[in-house]
Amino acid sequence: MSSTSRGRVSVCMATYNGERFVAEQIASILPQLSAQDELVVVDDASTDSTVAVVEDLAAQDPRIRLTARADNRGYVRTFEEALSLASGDLLLLSDQDDVWTPDHVEVLASALEDAEVAATNLGTLGGPEAIRGPYGQADWHLRASGSRRAWRNVLGVLAGNRPYYGCAMGVRAEALGRGLAPFPTFLGESHDLWIALYGNLRRSMRHCPERTVLRRFHESNQTPNRPRGVRAALGSRLLLVRCITELRRRGL
């Protein structure tokens, strides 16, 4: 797919104390972008040299747009701000510490031709091809056949067995005005599941079987890779029910 036919791409990245990994992630993104595309980086008041690293890269590539906040608001609000600053037709979310495969943009852009939300699968960086699920699943991935099973996917999100990861997701810009934005004030985590619920309730979700994000496992990962305690799990389920209620209130 040519850059002209797919529309303008905005990669939306949230950073916080990512000095060790952010340059490698950006290096995997920029070759996939055309001259008209952009990488929107919002830094959540890092206390290390993350901002300096991104500023140095931006000085070499005008497609990088950096907003450095003085106050720390958490990753959900940071991603929300990055999405709001994006000017592209297709908005692809990016963590600071993964590596994209060379076909990541192409796969998501193609999927977003006929869907408002699309998601690919994860592999691991320097590890096995498939990632394990939070309950020990040996191969934790989305299947293309599940793209149209909207309510099954919604129930799967509630049950914790749908591997939607924000770092492997993209949305069409018009989704922001159709109910995706603003994020609800109660959303303190799981922005990726908010986006996935929106896509499924809109019946405009596309699962891509490809593994286009190589996840780096380290001590600061925001997404847990092991089961939560009972109280935390119940709190998470309640949050998702509130998300569904809010999306229905918005007309979905």
Most confident of the following: 178-187, 216-225, 227-236: 178-187
pLDDT for position 217: 83
Residue 118 has, within 13 A of its CA and on its CB side, a CA count of: 25
- Cα separation, 220 vs 163, whole angstroms: 20
pLDDT for position 5: 79
- β 205-215/90-94 pair status: unpaired
pLDDT for position 131: 75
Query: pLDDT tens digits, residue range 27-61?
Result: 999 999 999 999 999 999 999 999 999 999 999 99
Domain topology for 9-250 = Spore Coat Polysaccharide Biosynthesis Protein SpsA; Chain A (3.90.550)
Mean pLDDT of the chain: 92
Looking at the whole model, is its pTM more than 0.85?
yes
